[in-house]
Structure 1
Amino acid sequence: MRVLVLQQPSSVAPFETWLQEVAPGIDVRLISGSGTARADDDIARGVRREVLEDYHSPATTRRIFEVCAEWRPDVVFSNAEADVLRAAEARTLFGIEGMLSSAAVLYRDKLLMKQLFDGIEVDDAEVPAVPHRLPSSGEDVLTACAGLGPVVLKPRDGSGAMGVQTLASPAQAVERLAAQPEVLTALHCSQLILEPFVEGDVYHVDILVRDGAPILVSPSRYLHPPHLFTRHNTGSVMVDADSSEYVFLRRYAEALTAKVGKAHRPNILHLEMYRTPDGRFLAGEVACRGGGGLIKESMRHTYGVDQARAACLLSAGLLCEDTFLERIGPQSGWILETAVPLGYDRSAPPSWLAYTKEAPRPGTPSSSGDAGLRCVVEGGSRKEIEERMAALHTTI
C-alpha cells in the first residue's frame, strides 16, 4: 500500500511512524513546507519527505498532483482543514479512494454546509441549522442588524474563529465596515456568511468514523463562545455522560454520521452545536478534521485514543476493530491562556492537572491557537472540572 501524507508545517504528528507500526511494509511519502516543525532525523527510516517552499501555494498543490500522477498512491491523507479540499481534488483527479471534492467542499463552505444538516432528526424531531443570509453589500449587513439584532459575520471558508465578527447593532456595523474596507471587498465577492447571534451554550462533538458509523463520539461544552478568545480563555469541558445534553448530542452525532458517513467517507468530524436559553438545539458547523486546542489531549486522557493517530489509520483501513464510544478514564476538559493569565504552583502542581504545556504568549492573539499556558483538567463531573479551571485563574 502507498500512502501520501499532506502535513502542515506546524504539525509534529509522526503519521508515517504510526502507519509503519501497524503495517511494516507500507510505503509512505510526506509533503510539507518550509518552517516544518519536524526535523529530518524525526522522519521514519525509508520515508521520503519533500519540504516545499510555500506549503499553502498553488505550486505545492501542483506538486501534490504530480506525485499522484507519477507515484499512484492508494491513500491521500491530510491532518488539517486547510488540506481537506486539495486532498479531495487529488483523489478525484486520480481515482483514489476516500472523500472526493464534491463532498469535501460541503465541509469547507459554510453556506453549502447547511445542506449537511437538512432532515436530521433526534427523537422524531428535526434539528434546524442556525439561520443564515448571504450578504453581498454593506447595506445587506445593516439591514440584517436592524431586523435580526446582533449578528455574526464570518468567512464562508474560515476556521478557528479567524475573521469572525459579532456586530451588536447597525451603528457598530457602520463603524466596523468603515474601518475595514477589506470586509466590504469580501462582501462584494460573496465570501462572507451572516447569521443571527445565538444566545446560549456552544458545544463541540468530536467523532471518529469507520465504514459510515461512529466509533467515537465525545461531546463537550465550551466555557465561552470560541470567538471571544481575546476576552475569555478558550476551553471546553466534556458533558456529564448521564445528562440529557450528552444523550441528545450523541444521538445527533450518530444521525449526522449515518447521513454523511458512507456517502462522503469522512474518517473524522468536528461538529459544533448551539443550545438556546429555552433549551432548543441548533446545528452550527461541521468540519472534516479533528478539534483544535487540547481536544486531542483531553480525548486521549478520557477515551484512551489519539484521534490524530486513529484518523490516519482509518484513512488507510488499518485501525483495529475497536470502538471508543465509552469513557475509560476520568472525565476531562481543557483550557488555553488566550486572555486572562493562568497559573499554579509549579513546585506542587494539583493532582487533577492531567497535562500542561507552556508556550510564549503573544501580546494580542490572532486566533485561539495563540495561547500561553495550556492545561487539561480532570474531575468527577463537568461542574468539578470547571471549578478547578476557575482555580487556575486565582493560583498564580
Structure 2
Amino acid sequence: MKRLKVDSVIIGGGMIGLALACGLARRGQQVAVIERHKQPELPQQPALRVSALSHRSRSLLKGLDVWSKVEGFRTGPYQAMHVWDKDNAATIHFDAKEVNQQDIGAIAENAVVEHFLWQVAEEAGVHIIEAEKWQLRTPVSEQQEHPNDPVRLMTNDYEIDAGMLFGADGARSRVRQLADLPITFWDYEQQGIVANIRTEQPHQGVARQVFLPSGPLALLPTYDSHLCSIVWSADTEVAAELMALADNPEKFAWRVQIASDNVLGHCQLDSEVAAFPLRMQYARQWYAGSTVLMGDAAHSIHPLAGQGANLGFADVDTWLRLLDEGLTGQRLFAAYQRERKADSLVMISAMEAFKCGFGSSNPALKLIRAAAFALPAAIAPVKRKFVQKALGY
C-alpha cells in the first residue's frame, strides 16, 4: 500500500472538486483527489449535460489556465436572455449590452470542462486517485478534538494523511453523511429532461426560457447557431410522456416546438433523450472539524436558471480568495460558510419562488407573475440587477 501525505484531499473529481484542486495546487499545496470514474474523454458529439457559465465562473477558470482550452471546444457565448410565460403575454428580455458586456455567459459541456480541469490538475502535480471505495479513518469527533492532527483516509491502494478534507462528491455526498452535517431538502416531483434540438431558425446567441404549467423549458444556445441544448423541468406525469417519446424523434421534437411557441421554427431531435430527478437541498452546516463541503454536496438547486455549476464555482472562488487574504483555521471556515451559505440561500429561495409562482394555475398567482415580468422590463435599474446576477456578481 502506498502512503501519501498531502495538505488537502478532495473527494469528488467533477468540475468543482477539480477546480478546487487546481486552485490549491497553484498556491503551493500538495493535493489529492479521489474519484470513482476515469478522466472523461472529449465527447465526439455534443454532450447532453451543459452549464451556462457566468463571467465569475469563467474568470475562475481563466485564472486556472483552463478556460482557453474549454473555450476552443464547442463552447458558445450568449448575448441575451428571453423569458416568457406560456399563460399570458408577459415577457422579459435581458441583453448584455445593458451592462456594457459582450455576453451574459457561455454554454459549455460539463464533460469538456471536466476533461481539461483533469488535464491541468495532473500537470500541476495533483494526485488523482481512481477508487470506487474509500474509508475515513479519522472521524469528525477526532478532527474536532485534535484539529492539528492529519485526517486519514484509505483506499485499496493508498493510505492518505491530509490537513483538510473537502467533500465535493455531489448531492448524495458521503463526506457530508460521515461528517454528520444536517441538510434541509425537498423533492420537486419533477424530472429534468435533456436533449439537443436542431432548429430551423438560428438561435442568435439568445438563451430562451418559457414557463409552462408543467414546468419551465429552457433552450440554451450552443456553439452551432442552429443547435440548442434543452432542459425541460417537467412534472412527473409530463416527464413520463416525454420520455415515452424518446424513441420517436419527430413527436418529441414536435412537443418541444409547440411548447416553445415555434420561437425557432421547425425542430428536430439531434441526440438521445435523458432524464434526471430534481430536488433541492442545502446543508445547514458547511464544515465540521477539518471537513468542508463544496458544490452540490453543500447545495443543489432547481436547474431553472442554470446556476448550479456557477454556485459551486463560486464556492471554490470564495475559498481561494479567503486563503489569499490570509485566513486560516476556524476564521477561514466561518467566513467561507457565512459568505457562501447566504448567497446560496438567496438563490435557493429565488428558485423556489419561481417554481411555486410559475408552476401554479391559481388566477391570483397568474396576475402576480404577470406583474413580476413587467417590473424588470419597466424599471432599468431592476433589469440591470437581473443581468448582473446572471453574470455571477
TM bracket (short chain): under 0.3
When the two structures are superposed, what TM-score results if normalisation uses the length of structure 1? 0.23
* More helix, by proportion: 2
More strand by share: 2
TM-score scaled by length of structure 2: 0.23
